[in-house]
Amino acid sequence: MAIAALCVLSLFVKANDIIDEVIWIVGDEAILLSEVEEQRLRAQYEGQTIQGDPYCVIPEQIAIQKLFLHQAGLDSIEANESAVNHNVEMQLNYYISQIGSKEKMEEYFRKTSSEIRQELYNTVRQQMIIQQMRHKLTENIKTTPAEIRRFYNTLPEDSIPTVPAQVEVQIISFEPQVPIEETERIKTTLREFTDRVNSGNADFSMLARLYSEDTESAKRGGELGFVGKGQLVPEFAEVAFNMTDPKRVSRIVQTEYGYHIIQLIEKRGERVNCRHILMRPRVSAADKATAIAKLDSIAQKINAGELTFENAVLQYSQDKDTYMNAGLMMNQQTGATKFEYQDLPPEIARQLYNMQEGELSKPFTMMDQAKNKEVCCLVKLKTKSNVHKANLVDDYQIIRTMLEEKLGNEFIEEWIVKKQKDTYISIDPEWRGCDFEYPGWIK
């Protein structure tokens, strides 16, 4: 693909003069050289490895996407706008945090932040539609126990997955009590910031850079980017969405993360962009020691049979994610209750490593990464399985998922081949010299 590479080198002949060309046509949709180059740059920045010539692989991937998008249009499949916008803002904020600033991001991609946001919006929206389309195509693939057994029995020994050690964990977690004096100190400081900004004696974004304990947004002067109401905790959202004057600072807002003051930047329909300063009360060593002693007393009652772990969760735990589930932790990556050790917070993994089923840990402290707060915890090892080859008794769901994924991939491959035959496809002669995964593009 030497010619394609030369085209890329000529893409930017001057600072803002872009040469572009249509290299593929799929149905009534064109694939542009600039699209290919954009995806190549993004993959390079995100550290993704492209197997093969990117100027062969990327156009074919885009063409496959267009087949899915065309079918999604026929089936009236749409993306959730709130989810799209949330993912776009997360990706933008990630770029800014990694590159260093909005200006450096614009320089790297040679586009304004508005152009980058729009391209990300289009990309994320299409990805979500394609995901839904793939799900719709394969949603009726079901397997019976007999089929799963036959599949497992035909697997070569080296194809049977090794299931790593896994555990199920119950947790009691709460924050050490914060002295009233510390809370008042935080509020006094935030009131001073508010007065300085409202009187014109200080810039909110500069104060956020200097003092906000939300480290990621502090790098951007406290700016959160455009978000929907559902992306914010309720207490914060209620204040942010009711603000109207960008020159004024909000009242102090308390959330599970700490205490905030907010400044409106802009509203766009159902989304808002604002700045905030977050401050968290400090917890002394004595306060933590008191909380640990409380957990130790709870553990003694559980071990003596005076209190069940499940009732202790209801009485004492402040972990909203596990409170109504008897303290049982959920693996956010899999949606199941089993964890590999590396998927757990390291403080919990260390406690569990040498424990037996049904055993309680000693009380310990750990950082709640979501809130960036130190909490005191007590955990119980509910179940534990060692490393083993998957079997139908213990790992039926894993085998079932393997079979359904295999059948789904086979169905998708057959669907793509059929769509190639039924769709008008034209490829520029200079872009045909590829070993495509699906040969049917060239007719």
pLDDT in tens for each of the 443 residues of the chain? Answer: 333 333 333 333 333 444 689 999 998 889 999 889 888 887 887 778 888 999 999 999 999 999 999 999 889 998 888 788 878 888 888 888 888 888 888 888 888 988 888 988 988 999 999 999 999 999 999 999 999 999 999 999 999 999 999 999 999 999 888 889 999 999 999 999 999 999 999 999 999 999 999 988 898 899 988 888 888 899 999 999 999 999 999 999 999 889 999 999 999 888 899 999 999 988 888 889 999 999 999 999 999 999 999 999 999 998 888 988 999 999 888 778 989 999 999 999 999 988 999 999 999 999 887 777 789 999 999 999 889 999 998 889 889 999 999 999 999 999 999 999 999 999 999 999 999 999 999 87
CA distance 104 to 97: 10
Residues of the chain with CATH 3.10.50.40: 180-279
Domain with CATH 1.10.4030.10 in the chain: 2-139+428-441
CATH, range 180-279:
3.10.50.40
Please tell me the pTM assigned to this model. Answer: 0.61
Q: What is the 3-state secondary structure (H, E, C) of the chain?
A: CHHHHHHHHCCECCCCCECCCEEEEECCEEEEHHHHHHHHHHHHHCCCCCCCCHHHHHHHHHHHHHHHHHHHHHCCCCCCHHHHHHHHHHHHHHHHHHHCCHHHHHHHHCCCHHHHHHHHHHHHHHHHHHHHHHHHHHCCCCCCHHHHHHHHHHCCHHHCCEECCEEEEEEEEECCCCCHHHHHHHHHHHHHHHHHHHCCCCCHHHHHHHHCCCHHHHCCCCECCCEEHHHCCHHHHHHHCCCCCCCCECCCEEECCEEEEEEEEEEECCEEEEEEEEECCCCCHHHHHHHHHHHHHHHHHHHCCCCCHHHHHHHHCCCCCCHHHCCECCCCCCCCCCEEHHHCCHHHHHHHCCCCCCCECCCEEEEECCCCEEEEEEEEEEEEECCEECCCCCCHHHHHHHHHHHHHHHHHHHHHHHHHHHCCEEECHHHCCCCCCCHHHCC
Please give the pLDDT value at position 61.
94
For the segment(s) 2-139+428-441, the CATH number from 1.20.1540.10, 3.40.50.300, 1.10.3720.10, 1.10.4030.10 is: 1.10.4030.10
Contact between 193 and 208 under an 8 Å Cβ cutoff? The reply is no
* Residue 19, pLDDT score: 61
For residues 184 and 282, the answer to whether their CB atoms sit within 8 Å is no
